C-alpha cells in the first residue's frame, strides 16, 4: 500500500492505527486518551477519553481471525481487545495473531538518544516472535513500581518485598532470555539481507543478559533476587530499583548496535549510515517474522522513501517485494514510489479522506 498526500493530511494516522494492533502505545507513543478524534470545537482537552477503535481481518496465519482494540464508552480510559468478537483479558493476545514492524522519522535518533528508546525498539521486535513477552514485561514493571513505593514509604516488610523481588527475578530473567534470543536471530537475519543495507552486530548491556551468557537460568534468578535484596537500603534512599546494583537490571538494559563491516558503534557512524543500519534491522525483523507460523508480518514505513537516495530506495522496494509481506509506505510525492506500480495499490489522502488512485 502506498499512501500519499500533503503534510498533515492524515497519512501517519493510518499507520498509527495499524500499530495499535500489537501491544504497546503505537508508533507515536500517544496517550490512549488522546487518540480520539479532535473536533474544531474542542477546547481545553474536551476530546480526551473519547471512544475510538481500530479493527482488522487477518489472513495468512493458521486460520483467519478478526482483531480489534480501542477505548469503548463503558471502559473509561482502559484499552480493550477483541478477538473474533470475544473480549480478551490481556493485550499480549494481539501478538499471537499479528506482527508489526515500523520505521518513522522520529526513530532516526535511535542510536544517539538514551537507552530507553533502544530497549523499547528491541522489545517491540521480541513481541513479534514471543507473544508472552509483553505479559512478562507488564508483570516485571508492576512489581518494580510496587517495590519502589514500599521502599520510598520505608515499609521494609521482608515477606512483601521478597515476593515482589521474586517476581522481578523470574520475569526479569525471562525478559532477558527472550531479548538475547531475538538479538541473536536478528543478527543472523541481517547478514542475509541483499543490497546496500549494512549488517549489524548486536549485543545487550544488561546484568541478567550478561549472566545468562554463562550461567543457568535458575542461577540467574537467584543472583537477581540476592542483588535486589542487598540494594533495598540504597534504593529506598534513591527511589526505584537498581541504584545499589552494579549493572543494568532488565528495565535498564541497553541494545548495543555495531556496524559489522566497520566494527564501529552505531552511535559513532554517520547520519546516513545510522539510517541504513536502522532500515537493515527492521528489514531483518520482517524477514524473521515472515518465517514464523501463525502471525502475519506487516511493515509500516512512514516517510522513509523520501529520506533515501535513489539507489537505497530501489533496494528497499526490492527487499520489501521479495519478503512478500504486506507493507504500507507513506510520502508526499507519489512519483517516488513509481517502481512499486506493479506491486502496490496507491491511495491519496486529503483532509483525512482516503481515495484509491487510478
- Predicted confidence (pLDDT) per residue in 323-352, tens digit: 888 899 999 999 999 999 999 999 999 887
Q: What is the pLDDT of residues 164-182, one digit of tens each?
A: 999 999 999 999 999 999 9
Least confident of 39-43, 87-91, 128-132, 206-210: 39-43
- CB atoms under 10 Å from CB of 227, counted, come to 20
- Output the CA angle 140-141-143, nearest 5 degrees: 65
What grid cell was written down for 175? Answer: 525478559
Q: Which residue has the cell 530501489?
A: 314
Q: Tell me which residue of 52, 58, 51 sits closest to 83, measured CA to CA.
A: 58
CB 264 within 8 A of CB 109: no
Boundaries of every domain in the chain: 2-356
* The pLDDT of residue 49 is above 70: no
Beta-strand pair 2-4/326-331:
parallel
C-alpha radius of gyration, the chain, whole number: 22
**Helix 158-190 to helix 271-290 angle, to the nearest 10 degrees?**
100
Q: Among the residues of 153-247, which ranges form H helices?
A: 158-190, 207-212, 217-230, 232-238
pLDDT reported for residue 295: 60
Q: Write b or e for each residue in 179-196: b if 16 or more Cβ atoms lie within 10 A of its Cβ, otherwise e.
A: bbebbebbbebbeebebe
- Residue 212 has, within 13 A of its CA and on its CB side, a CA count of 24
Query: Which pLDDT score, from 0 to 100, does residue 64 have?
Result: 87
**Superfamily of domain 2-356 in the CATH hierarchy:** RecF/RecN/SMC, N-terminal domain (1.20.1050.90)
In sign, the C-alpha dihedral spanning 110, 116, 122, 124 is negative
Cβ contacts of 332 within 8 Å, gap of 6 or more:
4, 5, 6, 7, 303, 306
The model's pLDDT over 178-224, given as tens digits with 9 standing for 90+, comes to 999 999 988 888 877 667 889 899 999 999 999 999 999 999 999 99
Q: How many of the other CB atoms lie within 10 Å of CB of 64?
A: 11
Rounded distance, CA 128 to CA 284, Å? 12
| pLDDT tens-place string over residues 117-167 | 999 999 988 988 888 898 899 999 999 999 999 998 888 889 999 999 999
Q: Are strands 79-83 and 65-71 parallel, antiparallel or unpaired?
A: antiparallel
d(Cα 257, Cα 278) in Å, to the nearest integer? Answer: 10
Place of cell 527487499: 319
The cell numbers describing 42, all together, are 474542542
Length of the chain: 358
- Mean pLDDT, all residues of the chain: 87
Amino acid at each position: 500500500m502506498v499512501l500519499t498526500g500533503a503534510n498533515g493530511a492524515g497519512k501517519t494516522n493510518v499507520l498509527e492505527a495499524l500499530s495499535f494492533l500489537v501491544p504497546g502505545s503505537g508508533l507515536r507513543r500517544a496517550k490512549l486518551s488522546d487518540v480520539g478524534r479532535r473536533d474544531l470545537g474542542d477546547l481545553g482537552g474536551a476530546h480526551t477519553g473519547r471512544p475510538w477503535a481500530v479493527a482488522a481481518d487477518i489472513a495468512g496465519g493458521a486460520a483467519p481471525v478478526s482483531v480489534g482494540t480501542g477505548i469503548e464508552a463503558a471502559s473509561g480510559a482502559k484499552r480493550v481487545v477483541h478477538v473474533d468478537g470475544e473480549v480478551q483479558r490481556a493485550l499480549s493476545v494481539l501478538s499471537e495473531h499479528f506482527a508489526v514492524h515500523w520505521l518513522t522519522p522520529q526513530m532516526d535518533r535511535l542510536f544517539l538518544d538514551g537507552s530507553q528508546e533502544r530497549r523499547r525498539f528491541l522489545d517491540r521486535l521480541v513481541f513479534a516472535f514471543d507473544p508472552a513477552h509483553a505479559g512478562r514485561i507488564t508483570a516485571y514493571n508492576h512489581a518494580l513500581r510496587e517495590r519502589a513505593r514500599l521502599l520510598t514509604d520505608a515499609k521494609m516488610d521482608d515477606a512483601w518485598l521478597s515476593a515482589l523481588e521474586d517476581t522481578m527475578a523470574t520475569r526479569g530473567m525471562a525478559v532477558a532470555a527472550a531479548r538475547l534470543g531475538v538479538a541473536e536471530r536478528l543478527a543472523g537475519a541481517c547478514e542475509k539481507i541483499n543490497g546496500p543495507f549494512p549488517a549489524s552486530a548486536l549485543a545487550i548491556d544488561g546484568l541478567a543478559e550478561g549472566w545468562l551468557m554463562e550461567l543457568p537460568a535458575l542461577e540467574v534468578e537467584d543472583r537477581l533476587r540476592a542483588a535486589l535484596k542487598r540494594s533495598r537500603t540504597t534504593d529506598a534512599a534513591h527511589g526505584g530499583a537498581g541504584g545499589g546494583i552494579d549493572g543494568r537490571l532488565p528495565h535498564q538494559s541497553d541494545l548495543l548496535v555495531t556496524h559489522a563491516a566497520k566494527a564501529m558503534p552505531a552511535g559513532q557512524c554517520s547520519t546516513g549510515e545510522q539510517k541504513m543500519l536502522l532500515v537493515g534491522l527492521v528489514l531483518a525483523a520482517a524477514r524473521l517474522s515472515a518465517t514464523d507460523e501463525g502471525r502475519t508480518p506487516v511493515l509500516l514505513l512512514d516517510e522513509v522513501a523520501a529520506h533515501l537516495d535513489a539507489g537505497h530506495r530501489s533496494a528497499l522496494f526490492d527487499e520489501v517485494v521479495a519478503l512478500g509481506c504486506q507493507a504500507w509506505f507513506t510520502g508526499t510525492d507519489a512519483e517516488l514510489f513509481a517502481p512499486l506500480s506493479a506491486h502496490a495499490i496507491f491511495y491519496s489522502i486529503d483532509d483525512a479522506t482516503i481515495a484509491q488512485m487510478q
